[in-house]
Structure 1
Amino acid sequence: MASMQYMAGNARAQRREGRARVSATSAFLSFLRDSWRAIREIYLSIILSMLLGIATGVFFARFVSRFYAFPGLVITIPALLAMRGNIFGASCSRVGTALHMGLIGDGRGRILSIEIANTALLSALTSIVIAVFAVYIAQSMGISASYATLGFISMVSALISTAIMIPASYALSVGSYRMGWNPDNVSIPVVATFGDLIMVLSLTATMSIFFAIASFVFEAFTALYAIAILITLMVLGKKGKSPVRAIIVQSLPTLTLCAFISVFAGIIMDARVESMARYSALLFILPVFNEQVGNLGGVLSSRLTSAVHLGTMRVEKLPDNEAVRNFSVIMLVSALTFISLGIISHAISLVGLINSPGLLHMIFLTLVGGLSMMIIVCIISYYLIYSYYKLGLDPDNVVIPLLTTTIDLLGISLIVYLSLIILPL
């Protein structure tokens, strides 16, 4: 009798376990159906971003020796690259929110004019800040960096890249919306990585310009550039509640902090770059890895802030169902992204462009490093939005810069640490 009761109880337990498995499978399939469009849009934009990132990584690996011709320049590179994504990513997030709310009808008008003025001014300001931070830190490390030289390279490369990025970023945001895509899913990854490529090319072009002109010319340009920015700030200061002034006031302190943190990422890279050069795949993977983590984090924060503005997500101490659904979408896309990145990186090594430590090593580095970073990104992104929303500030202005800068520092540190552990000496 006891044996029969045991068997009956065991059968009931197995049926409950079976129903639980069916329920979990059904819930997962339902999640995929509901989120398939977002997953598809994000993954396709990430793949396009990755292809642009590959070009950036190859150029970076090829030109890295030229950057060492200017003492302290390598320290500025993570900050200069990060600022493209920080400034234009935040701008695309604001434009995406405005498109969702119906504030931009025909792709033209006041909001886009404000964004153009805002991105141009922030690009100019942060190029000066980055140069000053980099020279100060380089000199404190015994590197004979020059304010005039690094200032000129930082400013001119920022001007060149901004002139290209402004029309490209807004064309992508408005164009994707008109095509029925969610600009929150597609604009930030493509714009951020395209910005990296343009900045690397702008840096090499600026170095050529530097060698072609007399020293007094670039010194005069650097001084006039700084004076022009100062005058612009004074004019904005007298405009009271100007929309451009409001965005600058909220964004500039955050971007300044981000520039300072990014310079430390450059110090980490500068200290390890020569030993990592044995496997140029690692030099290639650093900007691509960081860019994809930043892109996924930017997509997540943009989707969350749009949901807050549209009222579909509540901002509470613990994430609600809408926030958790967004986390799940991003983590699934992240796994696909970092496996793809490891495979693509190794595949490129097979055609002789770069040296790889091996397929499994590359997948381990990208997948473990990427998913570890994305767990951190989900937490940081949500609570930055929570904090700034409670302070009455627009999360669109500050979350993406803070998030991507934190990612730059942590991402470079993590890849360097993992490479020390698993790669052959």
Structure 2
Amino acid sequence: MNRSKSHNSKMPRTDSAGETDLHSDVYRLVGDSKPPDIKMKGESSWVAGIQMFASFLLAGFGMVAASLLLDVVQHWQVFMQVSEVYILVPALLGLKGNLEMTLASRLSTHAHLGHLDTSLSTLVIGNLCLIQCQAVLVGFLAAMAAIAMGWIPDGQFDIHHTLLLCASSVLTASFASFILGLIMIGVVVISKNLNINPDNIATPIAASLGDLTTLALLSWIASLLYRSIGTSIVLPSIIILVGAVLVPVCGYTAWKNTFTRQALDEGWVPVVSAMVISSAGGLILDYTVSQYKGIAVFQLVINGIGGNMVAVHASRLSTSLHTGQKEGSIIGGTTKMLLLMVIPGQLIFIYTIGYLKAGHTSLTPIFILIYMAAALLQVFLLLSISHWMVVWMWKLGMDPDNSAIPYLTALGDLLGTALLGLAFYILYAIGDKDSDLGD
């Protein structure tokens, strides 16, 4: 098949005024001859700011809770005896997080388009099957990456460890996706009923609940399966086979659903590409941690906040395009609000870190100044890239709700880690290094 022809078939139609009308295709497919004249309800900057900032705080404290949970479970026997499980954690959390955030972005757009009122059951079935299909494959991919990273250094391959990792990752991804998918649907529906803009809160909530839920399930499932390691490979094998059956069944259901067909087609490349981009950030982090031990805990904060902010920006911009608004009409104000939130948001979390006596760095005035400069530059670059990327995808006929967020959050990890490393280098160079900075 000619690739250009098949791609052009998904291009959004253009009306006489030159505005895209992609959502009218969905209405035609589900049986409505003409979509309603949809306009997003106006919201004051003050209300939008409160909604976004509250969701950022929730996401941040969810990230802190996940970190505390990891600090506990890393001492469990399965983590100590099967070291690849620890390697699996960041890969699985990163990949799963992208699935939940793209789901949140899609559902927010559907809420504004009125699809929750007309086709809620179709949306629920399609999206639950879609993320189930994606999650099982993502879980297997994350397990393979962990197995490879664990095998390469010493060259030893253990079939029991391999089956344990694959089964734990696939089962965790499947359960977490089903639970979080239902939660995100509930969040968007309740937000709509309470006149809260889901674009402002859904993606950060997905990020905060996603890490905590996935890590808790992975730890519990891996521990249960570890009890059978060395005695039987039947249970892990059955779990993997069931996952292999789920993929085509759920994939076919999602393909037949008019709301999720395009997402099934477009969603794979961004998720895998995001993993590659994040791996580059991991290489930078590996180098900087060896030089400055105090950087690790701040890396979680700068990347977490930056990723959540750019996800909200992309979600709001995608909704504005789907609803036929000029993107500049609301995104300019969104960009300013998000930039204004960087300083208070970062201060809350770095002082929380200081209060908990985490990390190895004292919060001196010069440290806070340089750290804030790095955080502001990271968010500014991310928001600029987000605006360009979302509009570019829209013009190519791609749905930004399906594709933009994985790239942007991965770039957030890369930029945040690089800029934070530069900040610590500058601090070290100018002599603002207390006895524990860089030790």
Q: Distance in 2 between matches of 1:359 and 1:405?
A: 27
**Aligned residues of 2:171 and 2:243 also touching (Cα < 8 A):** no
Kept in 1, the 8 Å contact 2:199–2:316? The answer is yes
Q: Which residue is equivalent to 2:202?
A: 187
Structure holding more helix per residue: 1
Structure-1 residue corresponding to 2:104 = 92
Partner of 2:409: 404
Instruction: Kindly state the Cα deviation for residue 147 of structure 1 after the two structures are TM-superposed.
Output: 3.8
Once the 2 structures are TM-superposed, how far is the Cα of residue 289 of structure 1 from its aligned partner? Answer: 3.2
Query: Could you tell me which of 320, 323, 337 is aligned with 1:307?
Result: 320
The offset of 1:377, in angstroms, is 0.8
Distance 1:225 1:258 in 2: 27
How many residues align? The count is 380
Structure 1 position 201, deviation (Å): 1.3
Matches within 5 A, 1:217-366: 217-221=234-238, 223-225=240-242, 227-229=244-246, 231-232=248-249, 235=252, 243-266=259-282, 269=285, 279=294, 283-314=296-327, 320=328, 322-349=330-357, 354-360=358-364, 363-364=368-369
Identical positions, percent: 22
For residues 257 and 125 of structure 2, what CA distance do their matches in structure 1 show?
16
* TM-score between both structures, scaled by the size of structure 2: 0.77
CA displacement at 1:407 relative to structure 2: 1.7
- Residue 295 (structure 1) shift: 0.9
Which residue number in structure 1 is paired with residue 432 of structure 2? none
Match of 2:163 among 148, 156, 162: 148
Tell me the amino acid that sits aligned with residue 211 of structure 1.
Answer: Y
List per-residue Cα deviations over 1:204-260 (Å, max 9, x = no partner): 2123113222341354135414531454378469x6775434311110122122233
Distance 1:263 1:374 in 2: 20
Report the AA paired with residue 323 of structure 1. Answer: I
How do 1:14-93 residues align onto structure 2 when only pairs under 5 Å count? 34-64=44-74, 67=79, 69-93=81-105
Question: 1:418, 1:213 → 2: CA distance?
Answer: 47
Give 3-state SS (helix, strand or coil) of 2:356's partner: helix
| Stretch deviating more after TM superposition (205-214 or 410-419) | 410-419
Report the Cα offset of residue 134 of structure 1: 3.4
1:175 Cα deviation (Å)?
1.0
* The one of 152, 172, 182 aligned to 1:167: 182
Residue identity in the other structure for 2:265: V
CA shift in 2, pair 1:55/1:97, >3 Å = same
Conserved 8 A contact 2:303-2:416: yes
1:76 and 1:263 in contact (8 A); partners too: no
Deviation, 1:331, is 0.7
CA change 1:65–1:289 in 2 (3 A) is farther
Q: Does 1:368 align with 2:373?
A: yes
User: 1:119-158 residue pairs with structure 2 within 5 A?
Assistant: 119-142=131-154, 144=156, 147-158=162-173
**Distance in 2 between residues matched to 1:158 and 1:234, nearest whole Å:** 15
Counterpart of 1:224, as a letter, is: L
Q: Distance in 2 between matches of 1:297 and 1:267?
A: 23
8 Å Cα contact 2:374/2:419 also seen in 1:
yes
In 2, distance between residues paired with 1:41 and 1:47? 10
Residue number among 205, 216, 223 corresponding to 2:220 in the alignment: 205
Q: What secondary structure, in the 3-state scheme, does the structure 2 residue paired with 1:358 have?
A: coil
The C-alpha deviation readout for 1:308-367, integer Å capped at 9, x for no partner, is 1122224xxxxx454322211211122221122212221222xxxx34411237745752
Deviation of 1:274 (Å):
7.5
Q: What is the alpha-carbon distance in structure 2 between the residues aligned to residue 424 and residue 382 of structure 1? A: 37
Larger radius of gyration: 1
Counterparts of residues 378-393 of structure 1 (less than 5 Å)? 378-393=383-398
Give the secondary structure class of the aligned counterpart of 1:367: helix
Q: Kindly tell me: are residues 119 and 312 of structure 1, through their superposed partners in 2, closer, same or farther at Cα, counting changes over 3 Å?
A: same
Q: Does 1:176 align with 2:185?
A: no
Say which SS state the counterpart of residue 359 (structure 1) adopts: coil
Aligned-pair Cα RMSD in Å: 3.0
Contact persistence 1:172–1:187 (CA under 8 A): yes
Whether the 8 Å CA contact 2:251–2:264 is kept in 1: the answer is no
State the shift of 1:387 in Å: 1.8
Distance 1:303 1:79, change over 3 A: same
Query: Using a 3 Å threshold, how does the CA distance of structure 1 residues 387 and 106 change in structure 2: closer, same or farther?
Result: closer
Extract unaligned runs of 5+ from structure 1: 1-32, 315-319
Bigger Cα displacement from structure 2, 129-138 vs 49-58: 129-138
Contact 1:305 1:396 in 2 (8 A): yes
Distance 1:177 1:230, change over 3 A: closer
Q: TM-score w.r.t. structure 1 length? A: 0.79
Structure 2 gap ranges (5+): 1-42, 428-436
